[in-house]
């Protein structure tokens, strides 16, 4: 291996030939050479990665440039956090690790929140950050953007690697890919020091050092006895329930999951990002009877869903327990790829460990044709509850108050999504999130992308960019005005790449609502409110997109229909009643408030 002593002027790394990246022109005497830049790109391409989300700067500027020259799609953001969220949701949508590329220290830290969020949500993602000179960093001698990034990333991701030599790039990227997508998916950090990129390697040796990962997410077949145990439990149930989580959506086993639900006749409840796995209008959906089915069910089969806070840890009053920590008496079957997940909160009577595709097909095989449907009184009670809630909702949606509120605005969004079931829906906020989740039906799998396990604000524009880029479909982003602010500058990115994204801000002038005042009567506003009457739509116009202010459902409908038809970047500032929201939305109970007034 030839190595270059002065990375600033790599004699063996002349300009890239117009046709080929991954190869550096050789003169008559010397062998054909390549370098770290090209090996990173070649390794990603070899593994089917075609898109990078990132933000250029020292030391990865040339990497972004050369990646684009090599035919990779490089989507350049205004802030690394948004690039990171984009990468993570691309991973969720495609089962391939989404790549986020950042500069060192501050850029790396900006991307790190998204990496941690990806790990928490089980999204496969690789954060690749350039880093400063190892020797200087390790001696803490004050390098440009000095930081021990590997050590900082480690506790926040599934795996973290550093590559010091160009001939190890192939292994580094292969390990990162495998770690991100195998088993429970998650975030991986890959540290690439500045010195690595210009290191020269003989092209042939470089090529040979690359690894095309074979079977990166191997199937994990569940044990037959585990499947039998689960089926026995399910067979004996009088009030069975299936709970579908975003792991089930990720698994892309859509037809088998639907077959399992339909052949057993068991009512199901989709977690937020599992909505649409079966159409929300499916007669077995118990979504509109949630607070009835959770405590009433006797056997619950979790498929790709954890019994975390979103499911009240499987116990307490939500599940019919007497006290806030008491078990409600349910038996649980848990289908999950992680062997450690079972018993995290309550006893799991029948863990089925394996990938959801293999597990569900094994369950289907065990069910056979003659499976008895659940008792009619259980199905009848759910239907009654559901119909009542749906009717109540229909009544609320039919109202047309002035000013517009969450319901009258979301009634429009509900129609637009129904008419465009292939559109991607991104959603964040508190009330803006909760109302959208229950009002807007989803019809197809993996179309709803939201704040996930952490309830994190800031995913909006990053998710929207990735959703548009990866799917080619129109994107509708339903945003609280606070939520939008976390990533709002990316409307420039949306315009720059001319993406078919329609952002709708449900603008109530604040966090949760906009009518709070400073109790002292002082000049500063309440910490929870924003500039009243803010003209968010002008942000989109500033970059050449379409901005619309909508104060009625009719205006909102027209703006959204135009946006979908034209595929032009659009931002609709949907002005709603500033007193319409509830503090913390549906999770008020988690919000401690001072006893002393
Ligand atoms: O059964 P019942 O009767 O209970 O009724 C239920 C269903 O049966 C029924 N339903 C239906 N009825 C009729 N028809 C249909 N189709 C139907 N479907 C359902 O409706 C109800 C509700 O159903 P649901 O939603 O399924 O049930 P429930 O009980 O709510 O489910 C429980 C949960 C926990 C699963 C669910 O609530 C959930 O998924 N919640 C997620 C909550 C969440 O993650 N929230 C976001 C975080 S809030 C807070 O943290 C915010 N911050 C702080 C902050 C954050 N997060 N991040 C960062 C980086 N920094 C700071 C901030 C700053 S939110 C926020 C901004 C807020 O302001 P915005 O301006 O952005 O937003 P606005 O609030 O709009 O102003
Ligand atoms: P939700 O928030 O929708 O309830 P969670 O993120 O809590 O979903 O749970 C997702 C679960 O799915 C995780 O426990 C994860 O291990 C699991 N999972 C992810 N992908 C797969 C897969 N392909 N096969 C099996 N389980 C999976
Ligand atoms: Mg708001």
Q: Which residue has the tokens 């190869």?
A: 23
CA–CA dist 177, 95 (Å, integer): 11
Q: How far is the CA of 45 from the centre of ligand 3 (A)?
A: 42
Both tokens of residue 418?
């129904």
Ligand 2 centroid distance, CA of 313 (Å): 15
414 lines ligand 1 (CB under 6 A): no
Query: Residue whose CA is closest, atom 54 of ligand 1?
Result: 457
Q: From first to last of its 597 residues, what are the pLDDT tens digits of the chain?
A: 333 333 333 334 434 443 334 445 545 678 999 999 999 999 999 999 999 999 999 999 999 999 999 999 999 999 999 999 999 999 999 999 999 999 999 999 999 999 999 999 999 999 999 999 999 999 999 999 999 999 999 999 999 999 999 999 999 999 999 999 999 999 999 999 999 999 999 999 999 999 999 999 999 999 999 999 999 999 999 999 999 999 999 999 999 999 999 999 999 999 999 999 999 999 999 999 999 999 999 999 999 999 999 999 999 999 999 999 999 999 999 999 999 999 999 999 999 999 999 999 999 999 988 899 999 999 999 999 999 999 999 999 999 999 999 999 999 999 999 999 999 999 999 999 999 999 999 999 999 999 999 999 999 999 999 999 999 999 999 999 999 999 999 999 999 999 999 999 999 999 999 999 999 999 999 999 999 999 999 999 999 999 999 999 999 999 999 999 999 999 999 999 999 999 999 999 999 998 887
CA–CA separation, 161 and 170 (whole Å): 12
* Terminal-to-terminal C-alpha distance of the chain: 71
* Cis preceding linkage at 358, omega within 30: no
Query: Ligand 2: distance of its center to the CA of 466 in Å?
Result: 21
For residue 106, the CA-to-ligand 3 centroid distance in Å is 29
Q: Collect all residues with Cβ–Cβ distance below 8 Å to 1 and sequence separation of at least 6.
A: 165, 166, 167, 201, 202, 205
Which is the closest atom of ligand 1 to the Cα of 113? 59
Q: What is the pLDDT of residue 91?
A: 99
Nearest to 53 by CA among 412, 474, 464: 464
DSSP string, 483-548: HHHTTGGGHHHHHHTT--EEEEEEE-SBSS-S----TT--SSPPTTB--TT--THHHHHHTTSEEE
Give the ligand 2 atom nearest the CA of 274: 3
Which H helix or E strand runs over 33? strand 33-35
Q: Is 397 in the pocket of ligand 1 (CB under 6 A)?
A: no
Atom of ligand 1 nearest to the CA of 272: 39
**Ligand 2 binding pocket includes 186 (Cβ within 6 Å):** no
- Ligand 1 atom closest to residue 507's alpha carbon, by position in its atom list: 70
Q: How far is it, in rounded angstroms, from Cα 265 to Cα 284? A: 7
Q: Is the peptide bond before 83 cis (omega within 30 degrees of 0)?
A: no
Phi–psi pair at 436, nearest 5 degrees: -60, -40
Q: Distances in Å between the alpha carbon of 108 and those of 115, 159, 501?
A: 10, 16, 27
Helix axes 36-46, 169-181, angle to 10 degrees: 40
Does residue 410 line the site of ligand 1, with CB under 6 A? no
Helix (H) or strand (E) holding 75: strand 73-76
Measured CA to CA, the distance from residue 83 to residue 54 in angstroms comes to 5
Tokens 């390990």 identify what position? 175
Atom of ligand 2 nearest to the CA of 247: 12
Cα(484) to centroid(ligand 3), Å = 9
Number of H helices, E strands in the chain: 21, 19
Q: For residues 198 and 7, is the Cβ–Cβ distance under 8 A?
A: yes
User: E-assigned strands of 152-298?
Assistant: 159-162, 187-193, 200-202, 240-244, 268-270
Q: Which pLDDT belongs to residue 113?
A: 98
The pair of structure tokens assigned to 186 is: 């998650």
Q: From the CA of 220, give the closest atom in ligand 2.
A: 24
* CA 330 vs CA 237, 348, 359: distances in Å: 10, 10, 22
512 lines ligand 1 (CB under 6 A): yes
Residue with tokens 């190892």: 134
CA angle 421–422–427, rounded 5-degree value: 80
How far apart CA 358 and CA 460 sit, in angstroms, is 33
Q: How high is the pLDDT of residue 28?
A: 62
Query: Is any ligand 2 atom within 6 A of the Cβ of residue 356?
Result: yes
- Tell me how far apart the alpha carbons of residues 505 and 484 are, in angstroms, rounded to a whole number: 7
**Contact (Cβ atoms closer than 8 angstroms) between residue 103 and residue 57:** yes
Residue 293 phi/psi, 5° resolution?
-70, -30
CA–centroid distance, 248 to ligand 2, in Å, is 6
**CB 310 less than 6 A from any atom of ligand 2:** yes
Expressed in angstroms and rounded, the spacing between residue 577 Cα and the centre of ligand 3 is 10
Q: What distances in angstroms separate CA 436 from CA 91, 312, 420, 440, 551, one per listed residue?
A: 24, 21, 16, 5, 18
| Ligand 1 binding pocket includes 459 (Cβ within 6 Å) | no
Is 274 close to ligand 2, i.e. is its CB under 6 Å away?
yes
Beta bridge mates, 573: 505, 549
- Cα(242)–Cα(378) distance, integer angstroms: 14
Predicted local confidence at residue 369, as pLDDT: 82
Going by C-beta distance under 8 Å and a sequence separation of 6 or more, which residues neighbour residue 189? 115, 126, 127, 129, 149, 150, 153, 154, 156, 157, 159, 160, 161
Distance CA 45, CA 10 (A): 24
Question: What is residue 596's predicted lDDT score, i.e. its pLDDT?
Answer: 82
221 lines ligand 2 (CB under 6 A): no
Ligand 1 proximity of 438 Cβ (cutoff 6 Å): yes
Pick from 245, 257, 313, 359 the residue to mutate for probing ligand 2's pocket: most ligand atoms within 8 Å of its CB.
245
Find out whether 170 and 43 touch, Cβ atoms under 8 Å: yes
Ligand nearest to the CA of 340: 2
**Closest ligand to the CA of 457:** 1
For residue 359, give both structure tokens.
């597990």
pTM (predicted TM-score): 0.96
Determine how β-strand 299-303 pairs with β-strand 240-244: parallel
Q: Is there an atom of ligand 1 within 6 Å of 389 CB?
A: yes
Cα–Cα distance for residue pair 369/389, rounded to 1 Å: 33
489-508 exposure pattern, b = at least 16 Cβ within 10 A, e = fewer: ebbbbbbbeebbbbbbbbbb
Helix (H) or strand (E) holding 477: strand 475-480
List C-alpha distances in Å: 147 to 103, 107, 152, 221, 364.
Answer: 11, 11, 9, 42, 51
- How far, in Å, is the centroid of ligand 1 from the Cα of 436? 8
CA distance linking residue 429 with residue 458, whole number of Å: 9
Is the CB of 304 within 6 Å of ligand 1? no
Please tell me whether residue 300 adopts helix, strand or coil conformation.
strand
Residue nearest ligand 2's atom 24 by CA = 355
Any ligand 1 atom below 6 A from CB of 330: no
Is 437's C-beta closer than 6 angstroms to any atom of ligand 1? yes
């Amino acid at each position: 291996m030839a190595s270059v002593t002065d990375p600033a002027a790599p004699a063996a790394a002349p300009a890239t030939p117009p046709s080929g990246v991954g190869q550096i022109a050789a003169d008559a005497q010397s062998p054909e050479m390549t370098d770290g830049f090209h090996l990173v790109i070649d390794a990603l391409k070899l593994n089917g990665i075609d898109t990078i989300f990132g933000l250029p700067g020292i030391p990865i500027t040339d990497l972004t440039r050369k990646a684009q020259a090599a035919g990779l799609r490089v989507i350049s953001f205004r802030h690394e956090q948004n690039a990171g969220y984009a990468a993570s949701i691309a991973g969720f949508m495609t089962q391939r690790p989404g790549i986020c590329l950042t500069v060192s220290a501050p850029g790396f830290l900006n991307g790190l929140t998204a990496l941690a969020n990806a790990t928490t949500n089980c999204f496969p993602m690789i954060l690749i950050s350039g880093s400063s000179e190892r020797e200087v960093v390790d001696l803490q001698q004050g390098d440009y953007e000095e930081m021990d990034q590997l050590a900082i990333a480690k506790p926040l991701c599934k795996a973290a690697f550093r590559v010091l030599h160009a001939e190890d790039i192939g292994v580094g990227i292969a390990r990162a890919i495998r770690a991100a997508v195998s088993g429970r998916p998650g975030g991986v950090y890959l540290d690439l020091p500045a010195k690595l990129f210009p290191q020269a390697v003989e092209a042939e040796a470089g090529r040979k050092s690359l690894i095309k990962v074979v079977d990166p997410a191997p199937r994990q077949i569940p044990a037959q006895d585990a499947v039998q145990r689960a089926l026995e439990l399910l067979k004996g149930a009088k009030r069975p329930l299936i709970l579908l989580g975003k792991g089930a959506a990720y698994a892309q086993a859509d037809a088998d999951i639907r077959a399992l639900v339909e052949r057993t006749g068991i009512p199901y409840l989709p977690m937020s990002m599992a909505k649409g796995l079966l159409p929300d209008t499916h007669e077995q959906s118990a979504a509109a009877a949630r607070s009835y089915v959770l405590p009433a069910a006797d056997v619950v089969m979790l498929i790709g869903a954890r019994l975390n806070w979103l499911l009240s840890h499987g116990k307490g009053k939500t599940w019919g327990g007497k006290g806030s920590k008491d078990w409600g008496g349910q038996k649980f079957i848990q289908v999950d790829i992680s062997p450690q997940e079972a018993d995290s909160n309550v006893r799991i009577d029948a863990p089925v460990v394996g990938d959801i595709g293999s597990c569900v097909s094994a369950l289907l095989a065990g069910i056979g044709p003659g499976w008895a449907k659940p008792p009619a009184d259980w199905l009848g009670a759910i239907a009654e509850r559901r119909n009542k809630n749906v009717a109540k909702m229909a009544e609320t949606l039919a109202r047309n108050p002035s000013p517009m509120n969450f319901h009258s605005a979301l009634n429009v969004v509900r129609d637009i999504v129904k008419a465009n079931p292939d559109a991607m829906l991104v959603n964040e906020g508190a009330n803006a999130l909760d109302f959208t989740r229950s009002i807007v039906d989803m019809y197809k799998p993996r179309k709803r992308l939201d704040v996930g396990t952490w309830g994190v604000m800031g995913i909006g524009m990053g998710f929207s960019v990735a959703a548009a880029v990866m799917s080619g479909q129109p994107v509708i982003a339903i945003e609280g005005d606070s939520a939008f602010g976390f990533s709002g500058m990316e409307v420039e990115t949306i315009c720059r790449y001319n993406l078919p994204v329609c952002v709708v801000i449900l603008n109530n002038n604040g966090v949760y609502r906009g009518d709070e005042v400073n109790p002292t009567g002082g000049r500063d506003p309440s910490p929870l409110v924003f500039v009243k009457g803010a003209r968010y739509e002008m942000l989109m116009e500033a970059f050449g997109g379409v901005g619309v202010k909508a104060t009625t459902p009719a205006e909102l409908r027209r703006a959204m229909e135009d946006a979908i038809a034209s595929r032009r970047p659009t931002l609709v500032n949907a002005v709603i009643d500033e007193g319409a929201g509830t503090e913390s939305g549906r999770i008020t109970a988690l919000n401690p408030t001072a006893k002393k007034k």
